[in-house]
């Protein structure tokens, strides 16, 4: 008798860490494994690390490779979704990685890839803050600003690649230069990185004494928890910077509502999770001041629920969906 293929692997390839999860047919997590992502090792060593991470999770869950029904790998960067190729991941230094081919040969089951933000939003659609939404949009401010959309149960995508790069929408024609050398993109005014640059300057000028004490003026130390603590300890300039960035995220959200009228819009990422009330307040204000009159109240804005599990849960569920729907 052939083995029962009842288990799914969800894998999230992040910028600094990778996470694997093993799930049963009811999407109960049986095991997790985590490793640091070390792009400096090169793509071959990186792929080996990914396989080791999955193997460790399989061993802990006591699940054999032959019992896997499918795997989905949530990845950053431009992807060829049909061929399963990671075209380019600039933060890792990887290019042209044939993930589908490599992992299907390794595990002997169907393998799919998806954009990491898309997959995280799909996780929220299946199990979190966006359950049963007809149209769900997710906005995730971090180093950049990721966006994803689920429409009638499917990830909204281009013909071959993922889409919804909302971080590169131009918000201010003469605004600051963004990572793609375009003025005034949403990322350049609302990402955590953009805000951290302003915060470092404020600390240098003596406008944020608690932040300067804890993190100095090095933006690599200005993380979400540090920003939250700085605000809680009375650094008014830091709160002002975050509120301004959150407001501009709300303007971007208003643009999305004007375009696709989602019934639910979720906000996620470390800074949102650290300061949910502040973000909801400012994003709601940005929406209210910029959305078309006819679209007022059509969209519920909420905070993501799944945290780090959104990627692996969404990946496992997308593997199941893809296997069932061919």
Question: Strand 154-155 relative to strand 94-97: parallel, antiparallel, unpaired?
Answer: unpaired
Instruction: Please compute the mean of the pLDDT values over residues 201-219 and round it to a whole number.
Output: 96
pLDDT of residue 289: 97
Q: How confident is the model at residue 105 (pLDDT cuts 50, 70, 90)?
A: very high
pLDDT greater than 50 at residue 24: yes
SS3 state of residue 266: strand
Instruction: Please compute the mean of the pLDDT values over residues 137-141 and round it to a whole number.
Output: 96
pTM equals 0.93
Q: What is the pLDDT of residues 160-197, one digit of tens each?
A: 888 998 999 998 877 777 666 777 899 999 999 999 99
What value does the mean pLDDT of the chain take?
A: 93
- Overall size of the chain counted in residues: 326
Q: DSSP string of 77-122?
A: S-EETTTTEEEEETTTTEEEE-HHHHHHHHHSS-EEEEEHHHHHHH
* Chain CA centroid to CA 90, Å: 16
Domains defined along the chain, listed by start: 7-123+308-324 (3.30.420.40), 132-303 (3.30.420.40)
SS3 state of residue 52: helix
Q: What is the pLDDT of residues 266-321, one digit of tens each?
A: 999 999 999 999 999 999 999 999 999 999 999 999 999 999 899 999 999 999 99
Q: How confident is the model at residue 77 (pLDDT cuts 50, 70, 90)?
A: confident
8 A C-beta contact, residue 215 and residue 222: yes
8 A C-beta contact, residue 316 and residue 27: yes
pLDDT of residue 39: 57
The CA-atom distances, in angstroms, between 256 and each of 115, 165, 295 are: 19, 11, 11
User: What would the two tokens of residue 121 be?
Assistant: 């939003």
Percent of the chain topping pLDDT 90: 81
Q: What is the pLDDT of residues 220-245, one digit of tens each?
A: 999 999 999 999 999 999 999 999 99
The H or E element spanning position 57 is helix 43-61
8 A C-beta contact, residue 178 and residue 184: yes
């Amino acid at each position: 008798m052939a083995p029962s293929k009842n288990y799914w692997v969800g894998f999230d390839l992040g910028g600094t860490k990778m996470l694997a999860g093993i799930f049963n047919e009811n999407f109960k997590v049986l095991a997790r494994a985590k490793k640091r992502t070390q792009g400096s090792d090169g793509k071959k060593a990186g792929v080996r690390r990914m396989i080791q991470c999955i193997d460790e999770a399989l061993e802990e869950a006591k699940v054999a490779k032959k019992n896997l029904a499918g795997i989905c790998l949530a990845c950053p960067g431009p992807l060829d979704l049909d061929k399963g190729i990671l075209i380019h991941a600039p933060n890792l230094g990887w290019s042209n990685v044939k993930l589908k081919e490599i992992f299907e040969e390794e595990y002997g089951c169907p393998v799919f890839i998806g954009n990491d933000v898309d997959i995280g939003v799909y996780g929220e659609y299946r199990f979190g803050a966006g359950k049963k939404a007809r149209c769900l949009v997710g906005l995730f401010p971090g180093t950049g600003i990721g966006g994803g959309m689920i429409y009638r149960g499917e990830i909204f995508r281009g013909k071959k690649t993922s889409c919804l790069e909302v971080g590169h929408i131009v918000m201010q024609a003469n605004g600051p230069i963004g990572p793609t050398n375009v003025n005034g993109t949403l990322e350049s005014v609302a990402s955590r990185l953009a805000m951290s640059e302003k915060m470092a300057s404020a600390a240098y000028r003596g406008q944020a004494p608690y932040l300067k004490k804890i993190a100095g003026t090095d933006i690599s130390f200005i993380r979400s928890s540090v920003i939250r603590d700085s605000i809680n300890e009375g650094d008014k300039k830091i709160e002002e910077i975050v509120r301004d960035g959150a407001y501009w995220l709300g303007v971007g959200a208003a643009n999305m509502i004007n375009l696709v009228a989602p019934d639910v819009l979720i906000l996620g990422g470390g800074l949102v999770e650290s300061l949910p009330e502040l973000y909801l307040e400012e994003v709601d204000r940005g929406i209210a001041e910029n959305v078309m009159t006819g679209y007022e109240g059509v969209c519920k804005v909420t905070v993501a629920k799944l945290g780090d599990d959104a990627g692996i849960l969404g990946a496992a569920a997308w593997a199941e969906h893809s296997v069932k729907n061919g």
